[in-house]
Structure formats: C-alpha cells, structure tokens
Structure 1
Amino acid sequence: MKADAQLEKIFEAFKQRTITRVFYVACGGSSALMYPSKYFLDRESSQITSEIFSSNEFIHRNPQSLNENSLVILCSHKGKTPETTEAAKFAKSKGALVVSLMYVEHAPLADESDFIVNYSWISAGNMEPMPEIMNYAILYKLAFGLLYVKEENKKYEKLVTSLNSLSTVFEKVMAQNEDVINAYAEQYKDEKIMYTMASGANYGMAYSFAICILMEMQWMHSHAIHAGEFFHGPFEILDKDVPFILLMGLDETRPLEERALTFLKQYGNKLVVVDAQNFDLTGIDDEVKGYLAPLVNNVVLRMFALALSKARNHPLETRRYMFKVPY
C-alpha cells in the first residue's frame, strides 16, 4: 500500500531527528481529524508534547517552541488550502520536520513539505468502510509510529492489527444501527439547531460534526461542547426542546461523558447517544480500544449525516459560499 511505504520513509526520518514537540496544523474538518492522535500522545508520551493549531493562527501566533526539534503534521484534503500551505512553509523556515496528509499526489502543500502521505478520500455520503487507509488511521500511525521509534512504545503493532479488523467492525455497526439512525433522521429533520458533545479522544468527532456536517453541509445552527465544560455555562441552554448528540467513548475521560448523559436525561428530552460500549469491537486490541472507539462512533455519525440530508432534502454537497465566492 502506497501510504505504508510513505510512512516507512517518515519513520526513518524520525530516527534521524530529535523530536520534542508535535504541532498538528490544519483548518476545519482536517483539524478535527487530529484530536484523537493528540489524545494518544498526551496519554502515552513522557518526552514529547503536542498542540493543535488552526493554520493561520499557527503563523501569526508564532510559537517560540517551534524549532528544529519540532514535528509539524498538516492536513488538507486537496492540498490547496492556502493557510495550511503557508503554515507548512512557515514551519520549514523554522527548521521543523514537515509531514503533510492529502488525498491528491501533487498539490501546493506537497511542495512545501518534507514528506507527504496520501489517503483515499471518503466523502460524508460514502459509507464504504476503508479504515486502513482513512486519514484518521494514517494520523494514528504517525503518532503511534513516532512513539514506537522514540520511546519503544509497543502499541504500534497492536494498532496496525486492530486497524485491519475495523472494516468488519464497521460493517457490523452499520447493520446494527441503520434502522435507529433513519428514525433519528426523521425525528430531527425539522430542527433548526442541534448541539454535539464529547470529551477526550471523541471530542474531534463532535467538533467536526458540528461545524462540517450540521453548519456547513446542512445549514443548521450548532456548536460542539466539551463534556467537561458542559456544567460551566452551556448546560443552561438545555430544556426539553433542545436536541443534543452525545458521543461516548472508551477512553479515560468517559466519566465526563457519563456525567453529561445523566444531566441530559434528567432535564432534556431530545437526545441522540452514540456509545462505543454498545458496539461489537471484536478484533480490536483492548489496549487500543479507547483510541480507536472514536473511529467507530464516527461511522454512526456519517450514517446520521447521510440520513439527515436525505430526510431534509438537503444534499451534503450543497454550499452557499464555500468554493463559490471570494473569501
């Protein structure tokens, strides 16, 4: 597989460099992809820290810790996002090792990067499960591979084996949830607003669904709420008429999501819960289940996005401004 060959070259580069800090840099949905991998680095590494930056702010903020000991990982689906391309150029000017993900082979972002990794593009409306080559999986391989090289973290091999089992897991999850997802789409098709909530490795999925699916692709008002922040202001918006989507994972922050669930059930009424604990995860190693659960939850979100777009008669490809007017 092409991506694996590209990753092997990057792992060799890891061996030749001192890396003390990882910067994940992207915009929008590409940025949301990076939250699970950052969660892994935060949990597992004793020597390497990581941060997530929006591409343009990365340049303007100009972190003083960005230097020749930094790894900068960027993502842009077509490799044409101007802010992300400039961020790659900026990172190289600071001496950082620059790795970029995209689904095209040649793009401006590739020209400004030391290495690229290509993934297969899966649109929001495509339900064919290909987890071993999805952008999430590649980001995981980069993070797990970095710690395998630098700290002898043995979870890399368990990750690869588990990724190979995900297609079967996805197929079972899709079959299990098809009817309930279609029912949810009918129930919520006329809502004007819908909040999403999660914590830990799951948070990026909630963020992506809010800004990319509900706001961008369905023109619905939305906001992603961190489950740990819910009780520090946002819970005041809850009543029986306000719909929430709650993602529940298997990582160490699950108690935050469980606390939010208790409150949502007590004071709310319109609630969609996507809980990885309810899915058959046979084939995924126990030591990486918490890290990979967001990918499984995301399959259900993709199903919901497609069903909602059909129920609302609002195709996911419809745009008002994006790619249509100067911005």
Structure 2
Amino acid sequence: MKQTTANQNITAQLETIFEAFKTRTIRRVFFVACGGSSALMFPSKYFLDRESAAITSEIFSSNEFIHRNPQSLNTESLVILMSHKGKTPETTEAAKFAKSKGALTVSLMYVETAPLADESDYTVNYSWVSAGHMEPEPEMMNYAILYRLSMGLLYVKEGNKKYEKLVSSLEQLGAVFERVMKQVTEPAKAYAESVKDEKIIYTMASGSNYGVAYSFAICILMEMQWKHSHAIHAGEFFHGPFEILDKDVPFILLMGLDETRPLEERALTFLKQYGEKVLVIDAKQFDLTGIEEEVKGYLAPIVINFALRIYALALSKATGHPLETRRYMFKVPY
C-alpha cells in the first residue's frame, strides 16, 4: 500500500520514538488522558497486559495522575498522553509532572502545535474525522496510533512480532469500515428511532472493548445527547448492576473477539432472558477479511467503535440534538 504524505509523517514520528525506546529502560507504562481520550487507551493497555512479561501499565485520569503521584513513576517509566487538540490543561500539566519525575513522555494529538506538545518529549499527530464519517485512512486514526506505540514498544523491547501483523492489518481497515457502514447504516437508523425518547441507555462490555463502552456512555450519550448513561463492565454486571434490568431498560452490549468474550456472552444470556430493549454489536457479525487472525481480538474495538459512530450520528438525527451541541463544555468556566 502506497503511503500518503501524512502517513509517512506519522511513520517517521513513530520511528523516532522507537529509537528513543531503544535507549531507555522501560518497566512501566502510564496511559494518561481525560474523557474520550482516556477511553481510547483501554485496548492498548489490554494488549500490554496480555503480551508483556516485563512491562506493566496503568490508565490514569490526568488530574488524578498528578495528585496520586505514583511512586513507580520514575526514569524507567513511559508516559503516553492524549488530548485531541493538545489543549486539555490537566493533561498538559500531567506531561510536565511526568517529565519532572524523569519519565519519557509521548503525546498524541490531532494538531501539530499545542501546549501539550510543548511539555512532551515526543508527539504523534493522528488523523480525525467527525462522528459517523468514515476515516479515509484509518491506519492513522488515534486508536491505531496508540496500538502502534504499545505494540511497537514490545517489538523493540521484547521482539513481539505482532507489531508487523498489526501494521499490515491496519492497512485493511478502510475496506472493513466500508463493509461495516453498509451493514449497520439502516439498522442504526431503526434503532435510533426506537430509543430517541429514552432518558437512559446503559452500555456494557469487557476486556479490550470496555473503553469503547465507556466512551459511548460518557461522550456520546451523556455529553453529546444529554441522556443518562453508565458504562458497565460485563464482569461486574452480576455484582449489582443487573438488578436495574427489566423489559423497559435499554442496554447496549458490545461483544469482541478477545479472551474476555465469555464475560460478554454470559451477560447476553441474561439480557435476553430478562430484557427486551437490547442492542448487541458483535464483532463476529462483521467481515474482517484482511485482518490477521492473531490481532483480530485487538483490532475488534476499533471496528466496534466505528459501528457505534454510525449509531451515534443516527441517534443525533433522530433526537434532533446535534452531536456538537453543548450546555457547559467550552462555554462556561470549569
């Protein structure tokens, strides 16, 4: 596949960072961000948990990262931060804080220059399109770049060969997205009409997919649609949240292809038995031709998230509430 200039620039940025990895001892990775940017990091943490025998990782909300002040944050730490426009104050301060502890800092953002870039050792500039639109080069989107960073780290430090399979698979995502769009556009419109007047919608997932559920709950349903929501971990469903289920409560269940799928399957059985307003978005239902078998479980969240973007856009049209509408964000002091 011929790379565009933008893709070449991202690859060059990543290669520079990989060279930095070679010169540092890295024993712990901290993923640090807020809101939707934080949610994007869950699949990469899942990958590190599954694949690395020597490098551990954690996800922190930016402000808590500073106030909690982990004692394991030191010169052997890699801190990966993300802010869409690089202007989130808490994340910029978190980068500055991490550098003060001697950590290597790498930040992802959509723009080339921003306060966060000024406080980071390295930056990577991903591509972005608004919700519901197909990313023209999905191998350059934020999820993909996060994976390339985390898998690239293990490629450099531990010789993990999944990085090569990831890169070749990412090049196939455009075709996968096209097939998903054709498959879910009409069902998304029908679903949106059926729930447009609902005041609350729960989302549920596990493993590498949990961040997608979290993002949809807090960013799409709460922030962009002003609907009550909560992201429920499928493993925690039976430890309290399932008591809220009845035939009138809407649930969205995300089902991936990773090792935690049995948790989601158990939740599905219960949802079918006691609920009626249940939407299941199952990665098994999508044509993932071109994606290497060894990384399908890791890339499934990206595909599920793309499908949810189509549902989000359909919901905004059905409710007459544009995704860009805000009550407080960017409008009042906070």
**Could you say which TM-score interval applies, normalised by the shorter chain?**
over 0.9
Between the aligned partners of 1:90 and 1:75, the Cα distance in structure 2 is: 15
Shift of 1:130: 2.7
The partner residue of 2:213 within 206, 210, 234 is: 206
Partner of 1:256: 263
The partner residue of 1:150 within 143, 157, 179 is: 157
Query: Following superposition of structure 1 onto structure 2, how do residues 247-326 of structure 1 map, counting pairs within 5 Å?
Result: 247-326=254-333
Are 2:30 and 2:78, in contact at CA under 8 Å, matched by a contact in 1? yes
Matched, 1:136 2:143: yes
Matched, 1:66 2:73: yes
Runs (4+) off by over 2 Å = 125-130
Shift of 1:113: 0.3
Between the aligned partners of 2:100 and 2:304, the Cα distance in structure 1 is: 38
Are 1:186 and 1:311, in contact at CA under 8 Å, matched by a contact in 2? yes
**What letter is aligned with 1:133?**
M
Matched, 1:76 2:88: no
Shift of 1:131: 1.2
Q: Deviations over 1:11-39 (max 9, x none)?
A: 00000000000000000000000000000
Are 2:132 and 2:311, in contact at CA under 8 Å, matched by a contact in 1? no
Are 2:133 and 2:310, in contact at CA under 8 Å, matched by a contact in 1? no
Query: Relative to structure 2, which stretch is displaced further, 175-184 or 46-55?
Result: 175-184
The partner residue of 2:31 within 4, 24, 27 is: 24
Are 2:134 and 2:177, in contact at CA under 8 Å, matched by a contact in 1? no
Are 1:214 and 1:220, in contact at CA under 8 Å, matched by a contact in 2? yes
Shift of 1:129: 4.4
Shift of 1:299: 1.1
* RMSD of Structure 2 on Structure 1 (CA): 0.6
The partner residue of 1:124 within 103, 115, 131 is: 131
How high is the TM-score relative to the length of structure 2? 0.97
Q: Deviations over 1:69-121 (max 9, x none)?
A: 00000000010000000000000000000000001111000010000000112
Partner of 1:112: 119
How high is the TM-score relative to the length of structure 1? 0.99
Are 2:257 and 2:284, in contact at CA under 8 Å, matched by a contact in 1? yes
Q: Which runs of 5+ in 1 are unaligned?
A: none
Partner of 2:60: 53
Q: Deviations over 1:226-265 (max 9, x none)?
A: 0000000000000000000000000000000000000000
Matched, 1:165 2:211: no
How many pairs were matched up? 327
**What letter is aligned with 1:130?**
E
Between the aligned partners of 1:263 and 1:130, the Cα distance in structure 2 is: 38
Query: Relative to structure 2, which stretch is displaced further, 71-80 or 119-128?
Result: 119-128
**What letter is aligned with 1:268?**
G
Closer, same or farther: CA 241–129 of 1 in aligned 2, 3 Å: farther
Are 2:40 and 2:211, in contact at CA under 8 Å, matched by a contact in 1? yes
Shift of 1:214: 0.2
Between the aligned partners of 2:139 and 2:166, the Cα distance in structure 1 is: 10
Shift of 1:128: 3.7
**What letter is aligned with 2:181?**
M
Between the aligned partners of 1:252 and 1:315, the Cα distance in structure 2 is: 36
Shift of 1:2: 1.1
Closer, same or farther: CA 41–67 of 1 in aligned 2, 3 Å: same
Q: Which runs of 5+ in 2 are unaligned?
A: 1-7
Partner of 1:215: 222
Between the aligned partners of 1:232 and 1:297, the Cα distance in structure 2 is: 25
**What letter is aligned with 2:55?**
I
SS, match of residue 231 in structure 2:
strand
Q: Deviations over 1:184-215 (max 9, x none)?
A: 01111110000000000000000000000000
Between the aligned partners of 1:243 and 1:13, the Cα distance in structure 2 is: 47
Matched, 1:178 2:150: no
Matched, 1:95 2:91: no
Between the aligned partners of 1:130 and 1:193, the Cα distance in structure 2 is: 34
